[in-house]
Structure 1
Amino acid sequence: MPHAPFDPPSIRRGFDRAARGYARHAALQQEVEARLLDLLDYVKTPPARILDVGCGPGTAARALKKRWPKAQVVALDGSLAMADQARRAAGRWRPDYAVVCADAAALPFAGGSFDLIVSNLALPWITDLPALFAQWRAVLNPGGFVACSSLGPETLDELREAFAEDPAPHVHAFAPIQHLGDALLAAGFRNPVLDADRFTLTHPTLEALMADLRGAGGGNAMAERRRSLTGRGRIEAARAAYEAFRTADGLLPSTWEVVYAHAFAPEHGQPVRQAGHDLVSVPLSRIPIRRRS
């Protein structure tokens, strides 16, 4: 199932509001980030330039700079408030990394600018994954490495079921793992490897779950969402429906399916797959030219 269309201004507002208190609500995001960074063991040559897409408060950018002190690290986020948090964390006088506030789907970098791209849980907010990955391939040097994480379709199944009687959507439709792999191949990446984890978080009440979602920037940003407040009756119906999931220890579970992917950009001379065809790029200097006298 493809991503539901999003309302980009709503996404930015959600992360702007969440920026200051993000760390208090982002335990899952922090755990996924640690597991994502473990994938960088596949990077054998120290990268000179690194891009962190959807950097949040900058924790991954700091870890990347610590791992490769000589690398130039650029942290990018579409939320101005979140980018400001990352900038503060980078340090004032000799910042560990540069911070750019820009749309992840419209990267403001020239081709071949980076050797490594890392992105933790930014993909769930992107509608066109093949187009995004095509940008990543363009800004990566040949042989560059990409490591990213996203959310799978089982994420928040309980919440989705609790609001099933409400015709307005409340939970995003997350792309399945196969869609992520297909999008990487369509963009020309080589040897993609995908894996998945399943986490279960617990909450005392539905309101506590919703507060954690908003606190981590994960509010409802679908274009077809209800723009007015959800009525008391619908909230009560969802609360009652969610009670069916309450565990023996008295807590409400929420399921999170996390997908990880890593892949390599094509080396010089290797064909790049676009629209189902392999395209080969050959430098002009390597094309023999026969001149007539």
Structure 2
Amino acid sequence: MNEGQRIDKRQMRRAFAAAAADYDAGAVLQREIGERLLERLALLRLRPATLLDLGSGTGQIAEGLLRRYRGARVVALDIAEPMLARARRRGGWRRRPLPVCGDAECLPLADASIDMILSNLCLQWVDDLDAAFAEFRRVLRPGGALLFTSFGPDTLCELREAWAAVDAIPHVNRFPDMHEVGDALLRAGLAGPVMDRELLTLTYADLRSLLADIRDIGAHNVIQGRPRGLTGKARWQAFAANYEARRREGRLPASYEVVYGHAWAPEDSRLRAEDGSVCIPVEGLRRR
């Protein structure tokens, strides 16, 4: 991510911590995307023993994994402890997620300790995709799977454009595009990456409801250097007028570009160098 648009992680942690109590009531889109991510597990034939729900929030994915993989251990990892407090209530009294507070770019997990990582709408809050994917590769066992969703750059385009006509200050987080994410997977040495995307649109009766929805799920602007003071009445009215111009059939749209991806931890012992070349240990070569 560009230096001028780095994530303020302390603010992000505070935002999601504050949103924990009301998160499930407002996270309609997040639940829908999470269900679509879980449905993709039907395409895999893995029988994982240990799974990681990365960026677990209140634990929707963790609960789905507990249901699907009856004998497996599920780790729920999130940067905000109040979210984890809710995630640990998922499941039944005999099996619940193991809560771990941590950062996706520096996972507090042992090497090769995870069979499968699922991450729903977490990667857009990562500053350094290379660092995050290197960590994913480190903790995945050989042949382990990574499945994730993220928001792409067309997310909240209406909000971004409405503000861009008022000032040059970034009011919306920057979201990496599908090709950026795919390239970062390859640089980390993850195998067989597959990416696809879809555009979903929510509609609202008024601007206040739209912005409240974004705020209540902790997804408001957490870019470093964002404006800290009051917006000002004139600028706010100009922004609101710009957004109102996008009203269609009595409703205001909020678009979300959803990026889906999966990749694998390599089965063999090949090591990828920083220049992208692959080094093969001599004992790994097959003689003819």
Q: TM-score, normalised by structure 2?
A: 0.93
- Unmatched 5+ stretches in structure 2: none
SS in 1 for 2:66: helix
1:61-108 Cα shifts (integer Å, max 9, x gaps): 0110110011111000000111111112345x5342211111121100
In the alignment, the residues of structure 1 paired with residue 72 and residue 275 of structure 2 have an alpha-carbon distance, to the nearest angstrom, of 34
CA-to-aligned-CA distance 1:121-162 (integer Å, 9 cap, x gap): 000000110110000000000010000111111111100011
The 3 A distance-change label for structure 1 pair 273 and 148 is farther
SS of 2:224 mapped into structure 1: coil
Is this contact kept in 1: 2:51–2:116, CA < 8 A? Answer: yes
Match of 1:259 in 2: 259
Q: Give the direction of change, closer, same or farther, for the CA distance of 1:277–1:95 in structure 2 (3 Å limit).
A: same
Helix, strand or coil at the partner of 2:47: coil
Q: One-letter code of the match for 1:28? A: L
- Structure 1 residue 269 displacement after superposition: 3.4
Residues 153 and 174, structure 2, Cα contact 8 Å, conserved in 1: yes
- The residue number in structure 1 matching 2:223 is 222
Which digits, 9 at most, give the CA deviation of each residue in 1:6-64, with x for residues without a partner? 10011011101110111121111111111111222232121011011000111110110
1:135 matched to 2:135? The reply is yes
User: Once the 2 structures are TM-superposed, how far is the Cα of residue 172 of structure 1 from its aligned partner?
Assistant: 1.2
Aligned to 1:76: 77
1-structure distance, mates of 2:237, 2:86: 36
Cα separation, 2, equivalents of 1:160 and 1:103: 27
Match of 1:60 in 2: 61
Kindly tell me the number of residue pairs found equivalent between the two proteins.
Answer: 283
- Normalized against structure 1, the TM-score is what? 0.92
Q: 1:172·1:220 contact (CA, 8 Å) conserved in 2?
A: yes
Q: Hey, what's the Cα distance between the residues in 2 that align with 1:80 and 1:51?
A: 16
Residues in 2 aligned to 1:28 and 1:275: alpha-carbon distance in whole angstroms? 39
Matches within 5 A, 1:278-293: 278-280=278-280
Residue 104 of structure 2 aligns with an amino acid whose one-letter code is: A
Distance across 2 between alignment mates of 1:41 and 1:206:
39
Contact 2:270 2:278 (8 Å CA) reproduced = no
Is residue 151–residue 259 contact of structure 2 (8 Å, CA) maintained in 1? yes
2: CA distance, partners of 1:46 / 1:96: 19
Alpha-carbon spacing, 1:188–1:156, altered in 2? closer, same or farther (3 Å): same
SS at match of 2:21: coil
- Give the Cα separation in 2 of the matches to 1:56 and 1:129: 20
Tell me the residue number matched to 2:35.
34
SS in 1 for 2:245: helix
* Structure with higher RCO (Cα < 8 A, 6+ apart): 1
Cα distance between partner residues in 2 of 1:2 and 1:252: 30
Matched letter for residue 278 of structure 1: V
Q: Distance in 2 between matches of 1:20 and 1:282?
A: 55
Kindly indicate whether the alpha-carbon contact (under 8 Å) linking 2:88 and 2:96 is maintained by their aligned counterparts in 1. no
Amino acid at match of 1:172: N
Does the C-alpha gap of structure 1 residues 173 and 204 become closer, same or farther in structure 2, counting only changes over 3 Å?
A: same
In the aligned structure 2, how far is the partner of 1:191 from the partner of 1:223? 34
Distance 2:113 2:275 in 1: 24
Farther off after superposition, 205-214 or 178-187:
205-214
In structure 1, what is the Cα distance between the partners aligned to 2:256 and 2:157?
A: 8
The answer on whether the counterparts of 1:2 and 1:173 sit within 8 Å (CA) in structure 2 is no
Is the Cα contact below 8 Å between 1:185 and 1:273 reproduced in 2? no
After superposition, residues 26-175 of structure 1 pair within 5 angstroms as 26-90=27-91, 93-164=93-164, 165-175=166-176
Task: Measure how far apart 1:233 and its partner are.
Answer: 1.7
Q: What is the distance in 2 between the residues matched to 1:67 and 1:272? A: 34
Q: Say whether the 8 Å CA contact 1:113–1:141 is kept in structure 2.
A: yes
Cα RMSD (Å) of the superposition? Answer: 1.8
CA contact (8 A) 1:2 1:174 kept: no
Residue 106 of structure 1 aligns to a residue whose secondary structure is coil
